[in-house]
Amino acid sequence: MNTLYTWIGNTDIKNMQQNEHAAISTIALQNPQAFDRIFIFANDWESDWKPYEKWLIKLLREASRPYDNVAIFKANIAGPTDYPTIIRETEKWISKLSEESEELYINITSGTPAMSVASVLVGKGKHNTYFIQSKRDNTIEKVDVPVDFGETYVKSAAKSIADKAVKAPSSHKQFDNITAQSQIMRSLITKAKRVAESELELPALVLGETGTGKEVIANAIHAASPRAGKPLKTVNCGALPESLVDSILFGHVKGAFTGANEKHEGLFEQANGGTLFLDEVGELTPSVQVKLLRALQQGEITRVGDKKTITVDVRIIAATHRDLLELVEQGEFREDLFYRLAVGLLHVPPLRERLEDIEPLVLELVDELNQAANKYPGYQSKNISEKGIKFIKSQPWHGNIRELWNTINRAFLWSDAETITDVDIRNALIIRNPTTDESDVSLSLGQRVDINNLVEKYKKKYVKAAMKAAGNNKTKAAKMIGLNSQQVITKWIEALGIEIE
C-alpha cells in the first residue's frame, strides 16, 4: 500500500478555486506509482476542505487512479509556525502511516516552512519514506535529503562545545554585567564609565597583564558611549604582517603594490563614526606610530599609494600588556603617541589582586560552559565544589581569566562527575616552572649589599607563595620549594616570622 502524507497550503486552495493544479494535485496525478491513500492535514480554510476533497477525487477518478481514500484531517496544532505542536502531530501521523504502508511519500512543498521542516526531521527516521515535491512547471521530483540528522546534530553540538572551549569567555558585556565585587574592580569600572560617557570622547589606553580582560573593558566603553550604534572594529597589532600593516589600518588604492587589484578601505575608514580597538598597540612599528599619531591629532589618514588625505571620525581605544613607558625610554614607542593615547588611562588588575571576584567569575564561566554543552545529547550540567573554589582562590593565575577559563575547561573535560572537586582543578592545572634571573650581577666599588637580607626576602616570598598554593598543607608546600619535610618548612616559617592565614 502506497500512501501520500501532505499538509495543505494556501496555493493548493486558491488554485483549486480556479481549477488549476498546485503541489498536492500535481503529485497525486503525476507520481509514477498511484497512491492507495492520500492523507491531507490542515489547520485553516476549513470551509474549503470538502470542496477540495471533491475536486481532487474528481481528478483522480478521471485519471483512473484510486480515489476512495482521500481525506483532509484537522491538525491539532497551536498555529502554522508552532514547532512543538507541529512536530508532535507530525510524529504521530508519520509513525502511524509508515507502519501501515509499504511506501510512504511525504510532500514537502505544501504548508509552512515549519511543517516542511517537521516532515523532513520525522520522515528521515523511517525506513520506508520518500520525500517528493512539485516544481513551478507542475512537474514532480523525488528529493534526496542525504543527512543523518542524529549524527549531524551530535557533530554540530560537539563543534559548538569545541568552539566555546577554544574561545575566550563571552566579551560582549556592558559595565553592569562585568564582575566587579572587589574594590579595585569597582574603581576601574567607575573610571571606565567616565571615559565612555565623556562628551570629548577622548582616546583610552587600557593596560594590564595578558588574560585580564582588556578587550572586555574596551567593548564596554564602546557600548556605553555615544558611538554605541556605530561600528566597533578590533585588530591585534601584534598579529599584523609588517608588510601589510599600513594597508590594513589605512587602506590602499588600486595598483599601490603587487596584488592590490582594487581599492581597499582600511580599518580607520571601516570604523568611521565608531571605535577602533588597537590591541597590543606596543607592537606597532615606529613608521606606523607616526601615521597613528597623525590620525589621532588631525583626524586624517592617507591610503597606501594615494596622495590625498581622508578625514575620519574614529575614537581610539588601545591596549597592551607591555610597559609602554619602558618602551618609550628605550626609543621603541613614541612618547608623544603614548601621552596622546593615555588620556583615559585604565589599569585592569590581575586576577590575584581581585580575590572577591574569583567565585562569581568561576560561576559565570561554569554557566557558559554548561550552556554550550547542554546542546549535546545526554550532557549533565556540572558545578564546582566549595573546596574546588577555595583551591582556585589559592592559585596565582599568572595567565589570569584566560588561564582560569582554560583550566575549568580541562577539568570539565577530564571528569565525568557532576561536581568538579579541588582534585579535578589541581589535575587540570598546567604546571609552570619558576623562572630564574640569570642576568649577570655587577657591583660598583664601595657598594654594599646585605646578601643575607636578600636571601631571607626571597625565602619569605617563596614560603608564603607555596603555603598559599598548597592550601597551608606544609608537606605539599615543602615539596614545592625543594625542602625535605614539613618540619623544615615549619622552622623556616617561625624563623622568618611568617604569618599563615
Query: Which of these, 98, 97, 92, lies nearest to 71 by C-alpha position?
Result: 97
Residue with cell 624563623: 495
Is the fold of 2-146 the same as that of 355-428?
A: no
Can you read off the three cell numbers belonging to residue 422? 579541588
Greatest Cα pair distance in the chain: 119
Just give the CATH number of 183-348.
Answer: 3.40.50.300
Separation between Cα atoms, residue 288 and residue 306, nearest integer Å: 16
Contacts 24+ apart (CB under 8 A), 391-398: 391/422, 391/425, 391/426, 391/471, 392/358, 392/362, 392/425, 393/355, 393/358, 393/359, 394/468, 394/469, 394/470, 394/471, 395/429, 395/469, 396/352, 396/465, 396/469, 397/350, 397/351, 397/352, 398/209, 398/432
pLDDT score at 493:
86
- pLDDT for 75 equals 93
Contacts of 189 (CB under 8 A, 6+ apart): 175, 178, 180
Alpha carbon distance 59, 52 (integer Å): 11
User: What are the backbone dihedrals phi and psi of residue 22, each rounded to the nearest 5 degrees, phi first?
Assistant: -140, -160
How far is it, in rounded angstroms, from Cα 350 to Cα 86?
Answer: 52
CATH ID of 2-146, from 3.30.497.10, 3.90.700.10, 3.40.50.10770, 3.30.420.40: 3.40.50.10770
Q: Return the number of other C-beta atoms located less than 10 Å from residue 345's C-beta.
A: 15
The whole-angstrom separation of Cα 316 and Cα 375 is 39
Select the CATH number that applies to the domain covering 355-428 from these four: 2.60.40.790, 3.40.50.2300, 1.10.8.60, 3.40.50.720. 1.10.8.60
Segments making up each domain of the chain, as ranges: 2-146, 183-348, 355-428, 451-496
Q: What is the chain's pLDDT, residue by residue, as a tens digit (501 residues)?
A: 899 999 999 999 999 999 999 999 999 999 999 999 999 999 888 999 999 999 999 999 999 999 999 999 999 999 899 999 999 999 999 999 999 999 999 999 999 999 999 999 899 888 899 999 998 888 899 888 877 766 665 565 555 555 655 555 655 568 888 999 999 999 999 999 999 988 778 899 999 999 999 999 999 999 999 999 899 999 999 888 888 888 999 999 999 888 888 999 999 999 999 999 999 999 998 888 998 999 998 899 999 999 899 999 999 999 999 999 999 998 999 999 999 999 999 999 999 999 999 999 999 999 988 887 777 777 788 999 999 999 999 888 989 999 999 999 899 888 889 999 999 999 999 877 655 554 556 554 455 778 887 788 888 888 888 888 787 888 888 888 888 888 888 888 888 888 876
Gap between the Cα atoms of 319 and 237, Å rounded: 10
